[in-house]
């Protein structure tokens, strides 16, 4: 048994606990513990409260000097940080006015990244994931969801998912993998064979037996897969016990309806969602995930976060970090900017990258600071939590703890 260690005092400690999962949140709902402390033991939180009051329950104390705000470690619930190559050319083309079709014809788009990712060895992919994860850690992220989806064959999807599994073992941050073999129809797939059927019958069992993921994602869009095509694929995934998540309503609607029909954990993107989709999602248990990094990368509208919250939905915010639509990858900067454009309270933005993001990944052991949760927390050098979104990602954490261990300073 490790001795209970008290860490603090923190000028402000925001546990992000006790908040409702769904609906709008005003800042008055936030609990702010002044001169707070956390007792950690065995990688978990034993107690959270006023530093002085916690002293009798701790064997050791780690004092924090100066003004600091402490929050749960950030959870990035949607990324594609396993990839080869770069799409800087796509970005330049897009910004000079070239259309999606012109870019695809010039060899750009998702297929370009598929080609680059297939050329990369598993070792190269691991190195890329580790390097990107370290950059995310410096912005306070302690859990990252990572999708496959640039392999698009059984072997290449497996290479990606094995790279994610290997990278997870190399770093202290937790990586949560998702199979996105249904990202687009592979251009080189034989015409006489049904791609999704093959993936479901041949890849799904290997994912299960190899412990490679328990999450299945699909991109429902005109240039990817239709709602009709995805039906049997998701049915098979559900029957095998996988959690479902959907790339929905990014450019055209349709995906959110599928997400609701299959009781997906989350529906991500939703930039094109109209009132109809917003109401449908609000009545369901599906958690919408806004991806402001994709709006910034593509120069498109933001997810209607305000309307989703006002309709009664939960809302998580993730970076979508990927080489095509969201190359920036700074979750805190993007969440803060989404807040500015969508008029979100600090409570809504911060819950979107902590408690609600944990729920959107179905990892309920993190995202809040309370007893029995993982001791994952991030500390900013300021005396006022409002400074964090105000600086739009430029105020960086000076310490990050993961499972009770300080892993960044
Ligand atoms: O979430 N929308 C589809 N997939 C990714 C983009 C992937 C890419 O362009 O490489 C997204 O934005
Ligand atoms: Fe994505």
pLDDT tens digit sequence for 29-39: 999 999 999 99
DSSP secondary structure letters along 354-405 = THHHHHHTT-TTSSS-STTSB--EEEESSS-THHHHHTTT-S--SEEEETTE
Structure ipTM over 0.85, yes or no: yes
177 lines ligand 1 (CB under 6 A): no
324 lines ligand 1 (CB under 6 A): yes
The contacts found for 92-97 with CB under 8 angstroms, 24 or more apart, are: 94/298, 94/299, 95/299
CA of 157 to the centre of ligand 1 (A): 16
Q: What's the predicted TM-score (pTM) here?
A: 0.98
Residue 105, pLDDT score: 86
Residue 104, pLDDT score: 85
Return the ligand number nearest the Cα of 250. 1
CA of 119 to the centre of ligand 2 (A): 21
142 lines ligand 1 (CB under 6 A): no
CA of 383 to the centre of ligand 1 (A): 38
Burial, 308: exposed, middle or buried (Cβ in 10 Å; 0-12, 13-18, 19+)? buried
Residue 1, pLDDT score: 61
CA of 133 to the centre of ligand 2 (A): 16
- Residue keyed to tokens 């990244």: 113
Surrounding ion ligand 2 within 5 Å at CB are 320
pLDDT in tens, 62-118: 999 999 999 999 999 999 999 999 999 999 999 999 988 899 889 999 999 999 999
367 lines ligand 1 (CB under 6 A): no
94 lines ligand 1 (CB under 6 A): no
- Residue keyed to tokens 């408690």: 355
Arithmetic mean of pLDDT over the chain: 97
β-pairing verdict for 215-219 and 174-182: parallel
Q: Which ligand 1 atom sits closest to the C-alpha of 110?
A: 10
- Superfamily of 5-72+367-408 according to CATH: Urease, subunit C, domain 1 (2.30.40.10)
Measured from the Cβ of residue 368, the count of other Cβ atoms closer than 10 Å reads 23
Residue 2, pLDDT score: 75
256 lines ligand 1 (CB under 6 A): no
Q: What is the CA radius of gyration of the chain?
A: 21
The domain limits of the chain are 5-72+367-408, 75-360
139 lines ligand 1 (CB under 6 A): no
Contact call for residues 305 and 270 (beta carbons, < 8 A): no
Residue 3, pLDDT score: 87
Measured from the Cβ of residue 109, the count of other Cβ atoms closer than 10 Å reads 18
- Residue keyed to tokens 């933005």: 349
Residue 168, pLDDT score: 98
150 lines ligand 1 (CB under 6 A): no
Closest residue CA from atom 1 of ligand 1 = 320
Question: What's the distance, CA 201 to chain centroid?
Answer: 28
Q: Classify 12 as helix, strand or coil.
A: strand
- Identify any residues that bridge with 49 across adjacent strands, giving them in sequence order: 37
Closest residue CA from atom 12 of ligand 1 = 325
Q: Which ligand 1 atom sits closest to the C-alpha of 326?
A: 12
- Residue keyed to tokens 């959870």: 75
Contact call for residues 281 and 288 (beta carbons, < 8 A): yes
Instruction: Give me the tens of pLDDT residue by residue for the chain, a chain 409 residues long.
Output: 678 999 999 999 999 999 999 999 999 999 999 999 999 999 999 999 999 999 999 999 999 999 999 999 999 999 999 999 999 999 999 999 998 889 988 999 999 999 999 999 999 999 999 999 999 999 999 999 999 999 999 999 999 999 999 999 999 999 999 999 999 999 999 999 999 999 999 999 999 999 999 999 999 999 899 999 999 999 999 999 999 999 999 999 999 999 999 999 999 999 999 999 999 999 999 999 999 999 999 999 999 999 999 999 999 999 999 999 999 999 999 999 999 999 999 999 999 999 999 999 999 999 999 999 999 999 999 999 999 999 999 999 999 999 999 999 9
Return the axis-axis angle of helices 110-119 and 154-170, rounded to nearest 10°: 70
Residue 10, pLDDT score: 98
Q: Going by CATH, does the domain composed of 75-360 fall within 3.20.20.140? A: yes
Question: What's the distance, CA 101 to chain centroid?
Answer: 29
Number of H-type helices and E-type strands within the chain = 17, 16
Q: State how far the Cα of 371 lies from the Cα of 232, in Å rounded to an integer.
A: 41
């Amino acid at each position: 048994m490790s001795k209970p260690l008290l860490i603090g005092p923190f000028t402000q400690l925001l546990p992000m606990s006790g908040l409702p999962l769904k609906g709008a949140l005003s800042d008055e709902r936030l609990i702010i513990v002044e001169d707070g402390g956390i007792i950690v033991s065995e990688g978990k939180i034993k107690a959270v409260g006023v530093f002085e009051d916690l002293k009798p329950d701790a064997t050791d104390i780690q004092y924090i000097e100066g003004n600091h705000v402490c929050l749960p470690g950030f959870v990035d619930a949607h990324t594609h940080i396993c990839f080869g190559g770069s799409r800087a050319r796509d970005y330049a083309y897009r910004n000079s006015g070239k259309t999606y079709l012109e870019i695809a014809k010039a060899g750009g788009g998702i297929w370009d990244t598929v080609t680059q990712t297939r050329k990369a060895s598993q070792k190269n992919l691991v190195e890329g994931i580790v390097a990107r994860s370290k950059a995310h850690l410096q912005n306070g992220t302690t859990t990252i969801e990572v999708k496959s989806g640039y392999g698009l064959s059984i072997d290449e999807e497996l290479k990606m998912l094995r790279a994610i599994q290997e990278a997870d073992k190399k770093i202290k941050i937790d990586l949560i993998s998702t199979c996105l073999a249904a990202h687009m129809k592979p251009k080189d797939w034989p015409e006489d064979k049904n791609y999704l059927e093959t993936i479901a019958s041949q890849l799904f069992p290997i994912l299960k037996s190899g412990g490679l993921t328990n999450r299945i994602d699909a991109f429902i869009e005109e240039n990817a897969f239709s709602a009709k095509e995805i039906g049997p694929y998701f049915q098979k995934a559900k029957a095998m016990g996988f959690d479902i998540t959907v790339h929905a309503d990014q450019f055209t609607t349709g995906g959110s309806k599928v997400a609701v029909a299959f009781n997906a954990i989350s529906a991500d993107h939703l930039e094109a969602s109209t009132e109809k989709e917003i109401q449908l999602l609000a009545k369901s248990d599906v958690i919408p995930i806004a991806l402001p990094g994709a709006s910034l990368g593509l120069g498109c509208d933001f997810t209607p976060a305000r309307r989703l919250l006002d309709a009664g939905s939960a809302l998580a915010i993730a970076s979508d970090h990927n080489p095509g639509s969201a190359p920036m990858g700074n979750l805190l900067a993007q969440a803060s900017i989404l807040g500015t454009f969508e008029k979100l309270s600090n409570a809504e933005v911060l819950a979107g990258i902590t408690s609600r993001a944990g729920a959107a990944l179905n990892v309920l052991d993190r995202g809040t600071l309370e007893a029995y949760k993982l001791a994952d927390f991030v500390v900013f050098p300021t005396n006022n939590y409002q400074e964090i979104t105000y600086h739009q990602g430029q105020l960086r954490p000076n310490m990050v703890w993961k499972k009770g261990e300080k892993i960044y300073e």
